[in-house]
């Protein structure tokens, strides 16, 4: 089913949903939210785009296979989890924080990198599953 309304709305909602997912990701290292829900929001943006414009156009928009995001996200999450043990002889998953604030983001810590890894894994897994199901149908 091709709907001009859905196609038009998806082109507007894609950047807005991706921006909102980045907001939730950055908010999450201080407050509830973070990588998992932000990854789901970003996945929903691409799924909506694929429903409206077709899977081929969405794959072209992504430029990489979503399955590639899974090992990259895992490496980022595991690296941020073991960084305190390697660099400061602290227990695994202890928060490390940069003391100076960055203008838009605020304080940066290992929790942000862990959430970013989770973000990439969730996007990769959910889009791989949905795209695989869509190709078979």
What confidence tens digit (pLDDT) does each residue in 13-59 have?
A: 999 999 999 999 988 766 767 899 999 999 999 999 999 999 999 99
Domain count, the chain: 1
Please choose, from the candidates 67, 18, 68, the residue with its C-alpha nearest in 3D space to the C-alpha of residue 42.
Answer: 18
Looking at per-residue confidence, does 135 or 63 come out higher? 63
Q: Is 118 a residue whose pLDDT tops 90? A: yes
Q: Give the phi and the psi of residue 31 in degrees, each rounded to 5.
A: -130, 175
DSSP-derived secondary structure letter, 97: B
pLDDT digits (tens, 9 = 90+) for 61-91: 999 999 999 999 999 999 999 998 988 888 8
Question: 47: which 2 tokens?
Answer: 């799924």
Instruction: Look up the domain containing 101 and give its range.
Output: 4-136
Q: Please count the CA atoms within 13 angstroms of the CA of 111 that sit on its side-chain side.
A: 18
Spatial neighbors of 42 by CB under 8 A, at least 6 apart, are 17, 18, 21, 119, 123
Tell me the whole-structure pTM to 2 decimals: 0.89
Spatial neighbors of 62 by CB under 8 A, at least 6 apart, are 46, 127
């Amino acid at each position: 089913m091709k709907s001009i309304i859905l196609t038009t709305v998806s082109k507007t909602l894609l950047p807005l949903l991706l921006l909102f997912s980045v907001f939730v990701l950055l908010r999450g290292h201080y407050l509830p939210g973070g990588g998992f829900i932000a990854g789901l929001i970003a996945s929903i943006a691409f799924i909506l785009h694929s429903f409206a414009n077709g899977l081929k156009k969405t794959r072209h928009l992504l430029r990489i296979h979503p399955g590639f995001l899974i090992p990259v996200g895992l490496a980022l999450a595991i690296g941020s989890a073991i960084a305190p043990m390697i660099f400061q002889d602290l227990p695994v998953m202890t928060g490390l924080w940069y003391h100076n604030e960055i203008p838009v983001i605020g304080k940066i810590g290992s929790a942000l990198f862990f959430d970013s890894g989770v973000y990439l894994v969730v996007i990769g897994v959910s889009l791989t599953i949905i795209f695989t199901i869509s190709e078979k149908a």
